[in-house]
Chain A
């Protein structure tokens, strides 16, 4: 396998009962890049993401992540392996009984050997880096605005220095200003951690923002990647479905 490929998927198929959701899907996702997967609602984008995370088992096909075949791992290994991932959820998915600080500290407390003091330093650093000010550290999610929650969610996702960041529809349902902020956050994060080798995978409906922030764009339809191009070339695709999607 090539050295600079983070995620490599071969002939991935997934059936839910009689429904074929993924059907012989192939994709290689390059290290250090931002790759966005576009597709109509229900195309199977989230399903694909769950396969990369090892949350779903393929009906057939192979998935390699960071050089490891997911099929070779039992579910304890898989759980451990997921520490290589950070994920930002659509509505941030902060634990609503915990403060912004505790949310960010959560993965560190669970998985690192840091002392409380080191955790506290690391959390402050993370939260400040996503523009959460100290006065908001001890607010619970319901006291934070949607944009702030997203930022805390990102801080939490970055806490364990993941190799791969996943964003599932990071801007769906946000107002234009917050959307812009989240997109900036994604590009900033990607840039900042680039030399450490962070790969970002985004799932999106938003064509315009996708083309602005991504290095590569893939289009998922009927269970396959039907187009996969550098972002600059993507609008010139001559695939009729892609054209239709871009011009929606």
Chain B
């Protein structure tokens, strides 16, 4: 059993360490994104397709995670706050935590697991079946055709999903708070207005933009670098998820420390 665990940890470690060597490649890949982004044609049809794809992939789980996060969080804070008789503050506490932290981060993690993985899988399988070569032979930039629409879509979709997560979470919190825990409804909303600011919403949305960007860059990158062979695509997908999540968490720390100062 311990041997087994050791092996799993080793494997996880290897899959995390190996790509650190390719950091430079990811930089070049990101540079190429901006290069091709401003070149014609902009493929708006593919972009819309990808936007719907990212939305579709994650929307249901966002609903689920959003509502439960809001409900559970409302519960948790209520019993703590009741002890010091500030239970009317449950609304703003949940709302602020959701909009600044929980909604963008959880949405980012979910999208990394769903859409980021799917991007790597799609592009990876196009790579192994030479569809990417076929594009290049026709003179079409595979980067522009495949990566640009996905990265732009991801960068826009994640903030949108974050807003949805936020909204659903707050509805969940309101529902549990006022219906199950019997916080006074008027009190709930007046405190919400008193403590919640536009900056809090903005902070979450800005984070989400960066998360969306990094998740789709990583998803596409690990798709394009898939190696031929049976395990290639699976490995690429796996790396996209692991790295998407790790980068969301790391980026969250730096963005928070930065945004807190300027907002």
Contact A85–B140 (Cβ < 8 Å): no
A94 to B130, CA, bound (A): 9
Contact B140–A110 (Cβ < 8 Å): yes
- Residue from B131, B138, B139 in contact with A96 in the complex, judged by beta carbons closer than 8 Å: B131
Contact B139–A83 (Cβ < 8 Å): yes
Chain B residues whose C-beta falls within 8 Å of the C-beta of A78 in the assembled complex: 139
A53 to B135, CA, bound (A): 12
Contact B137–A53 (Cβ < 8 Å): yes
Let me know if A10 is at the binding interface, CB within 8 A: no
Contact B133–A83 (Cβ < 8 Å): no
Q: C-beta contact mask, A43-80 vs B, less than 8 Å → 1, else 0?
A: 00000000001010000000000000000000000111
Contact B138–A55 (Cβ < 8 Å): no
Interface hits, A80-98 → B, CB 8 Å: 80-83, 85, 87, 89-91, 93-96
Contact (A79, B129) CB under 8 Å given A55-B136, A93-B134: no
Q: Tell me the nearest residue of chain B to A160, going by C-beta.
A: B138
Contact B139–A93 (Cβ < 8 Å): no
- Residue from B126, B134, B140 in contact with A89 in the complex, judged by beta carbons closer than 8 Å: B134
Looking at the assembled complex, report how far the CB atom of B140 sits from the nearest CB atom of chain A, in whole angstroms. 6
A94 to B140, CA, bound (A): 15
Chain B residues whose C-beta falls within 8 Å of the C-beta of A83 in the assembled complex: 138-139
Let me know if A107 is at the binding interface, CB within 8 A: yes
Chain B residues whose C-beta falls within 8 Å of the C-beta of A87 in the assembled complex: 134, 137
Interface residues in A, total, Cβ within 8 A: 21
Contact A91–B139 (Cβ < 8 Å): no
Q: C-beta contact mask, A104-134 vs B, less than 8 Å → 1, else 0?
A: 0011001100000000000000000000000
Chain A residues whose C-beta falls within 8 Å of the C-beta of B129 in the assembled complex: 91, 93, 96
Q: Tell me the nearest residue of chain A to B145, going by C-beta.
A: A110
Contact B139–A80 (Cβ < 8 Å): yes
Contact A82–B134 (Cβ < 8 Å): no
Looking at the assembled complex, report how far the CB atom of A69 sits from the nearest CB atom of chain B, in whole angstroms. 18
Chain B residues whose C-beta falls within 8 Å of the C-beta of A80 in the assembled complex: 139
Contact (A107, B138) CB under 8 Å given A89-B130, A96-B129, A96-B131: yes
Let me know if B141 is at the binding interface, CB within 8 A: yes
Contact B138–A82 (Cβ < 8 Å): yes
Which of B130, B131, B138 has the most chain A CB within a 10 Å cutoff?
A: B138
Which of B126, B130, B134, B136 has the most chain A CB within a 10 Å cutoff?
A: B134
Q: Tell me the nearest residue of chain B to A81, going by C-beta.
A: B139
A210 to B129, CA, bound (A): 25
Chain B residues whose C-beta falls within 8 Å of the C-beta of A106 in the assembled complex: 138
A91 to B139, CA, bound (A): 20
Contact A79–B139 (Cβ < 8 Å): yes
Looking at the assembled complex, report how far the CB atom of B167 sits from the nearest CB atom of chain A, in whole angstroms. 33
- Residue from B133, B134, B141 in contact with A79 in the complex, judged by beta carbons closer than 8 Å: B141
Contact A85–B137 (Cβ < 8 Å): yes
Q: Tell me the nearest residue of chain B to A90, going by C-beta.
A: B130
Chain A residues whose C-beta falls within 8 Å of the C-beta of B130 in the assembled complex: 89-91, 93
Q: Residues on A close to B: CB < 8 A?
A: 53, 55, 78-83, 85, 87, 89-91, 93-96, 106-107, 110-111
A selection of 17 A-B contacts at a CB cut-off of 8 Å is A53-B137, A55-B137, A79-B139, A79-B141, A80-B139, A81-B139, A82-B136, A82-B139, A91-B129, A93-B129, A93-B130, A93-B131, A93-B134, A94-B131, A95-B131, A96-B131, A107-B138
Beyond the given A79-B139, A82-B136, please list 17 additional residue pairs across the A-B interface where CB-CB is below 8 A: A55-B136, A55-B137, A79-B140, A79-B141, A81-B139, A83-B138, A89-B133, A91-B130, A93-B131, A93-B133, A95-B131, A96-B126, A96-B131, A106-B138, A110-B138, A110-B140, A111-B139
